[in-house]
Amino acid sequence: MGKCSRKDNNISDLPPNIIEKILTKIRIRDAVKTSILSTKWRYQWTAMTLLVFDEIPDGSLDDQKAAEIRLANFVTQFLLLHDGPFHKFKVTTSYLRMSTDIDQWLRVISRKDIEELILGENWNCINSIPTPSHLFSCQGLTRLKLCKFVVKPPLKFQGFPCLKYLNLVHCTAALEFIENLLSSCPLLEKFKLITADKLALTVRAPNLKHLFAAGYLRDLYLEHTPVLGFYKMGKCLRKDNNISDLPQNIIEKILTKIPIRDAVKTSILSPKWRYQWTAMTLLVFDEIPDGSLDDQKAAEIRLANFVTQFLLLHDGPIHKFKVTTSKLRMFTDIDQWLRAISRKDIEELSLGGNWICINSIPTPSHLFSCQGLTRLKLCKFVVKPPLKFQGFPCLKYLNLIHCTVSREVIENLISGCPLLEEFKFQNMDELVLSVRAPNMKHLIVDGNFRDVYLEYIPLLVSLSIIFFKTWEDGILVKVPLTYDSVKFIELGGINFEDMNAVLYALNLILKSPNIEELQISEASKNVHRKAAGLDFWEKQCPSDFTFKHLKVVKMTEVSREHEIEFLKFVLGRSPVLQMMNVSPPDSCRGRMSMVNKVLSLGKAFPNVEIKFLDP
- 417 contacts: CB under 8 Å, gap ≥ 6: 391, 392, 393, 395, 398, 437
Whether the pTM exceeds 0.75: the reply is no
Give the C-alpha distances (Å, rounded to integers) separating 432 from 408, 593, 594: 10, 40, 37
The rounded distance, in Å, linking the Cα atoms of 175 and 195 is 11
The secondary structure of residue 531, as a DSSP letter, is: B
The rounded distance, in Å, linking the Cα atoms of 476 and 491 is 15
Q: How far apart are the first and last CA of the chain?
A: 72
The rounded distance, in Å, linking the Cα atoms of 356 and 375 is 21
Q: Which residues of the chain have pLDDT under 70?
A: 1-9, 55-65, 93-99, 121-127, 196, 228-242, 287-296, 325-331, 353-359, 468-480, 523-532, 586-591, 593, 614-615
Torsion of CA 208, 214, 215, 216, to 10 degrees: 60
How many residues are recorded in the chain? 615
Question: Helix count (H) and strand count (E) of the chain?
Answer: 14, 27
Burial label, 453 (beta-carbon count in 10 A; 0-12, 13-18, 19+): middle
The β-bridge partners of 213 are: 193
Burial label, 235 (beta-carbon count in 10 A; 0-12, 13-18, 19+): exposed
pLDDT (0 to 100) of residue 236: 31
Is residue 145 within 8 Å of residue 117, measured between CB atoms?
Answer: yes
Which domains, ranges and CATH numbers included, belong to the chain? 10-224 (3.80.10)
The rounded distance, in Å, linking the Cα atoms of 113 and 82 is 13
* Alpha helix (H) residue ranges in 327-449: 331-341, 407-415
393-404 burial string, b = 16+ CB within 10 Å, else e? Answer: ebbbbbbbbbbb
Q: What's the one-letter identity of residue 171?
A: C
pLDDT (0 to 100) of residue 248: 82
Give the C-alpha distances (Å, rounded to integers) separating 159 from 177, 183, 185: 10, 8, 6
| 397 CB-side CA count, 13 A | 9
pLDDT (0 to 100) of residue 328: 56
Is residue 571 within 8 Å of residue 555, measured between CB atoms?
Answer: no
The rounded distance, in Å, linking the Cα atoms of 469 and 308 is 42
pLDDT (0 to 100) of residue 608: 87
Q: Name the E strands within 560-601.
A: 579-582
The β-bridge partners of 362 are: 382
The rounded distance, in Å, linking the Cα atoms of 188 and 333 is 43
pLDDT (0 to 100) of residue 466: 85
* Alpha helix (H) residue ranges in 143-231: 175-183
> Three-state SS across 190-213?
EEEEEECCCCEEEEECCCCCEEEE
pLDDT (0 to 100) of residue 116: 94
Is residue 349 within 8 Å of residue 379, measured between CB atoms?
Answer: no
pLDDT (0 to 100) of residue 238: 39
348-391 pLDDT tens trace: 999 976 555 566 788 888 999 999 999 999 988 899 999 899 99
pLDDT (0 to 100) of residue 413: 93
Query: Which pairing describes strands 579-582 and 172-173: parallel, antiparallel, or unpaired?
Result: unpaired
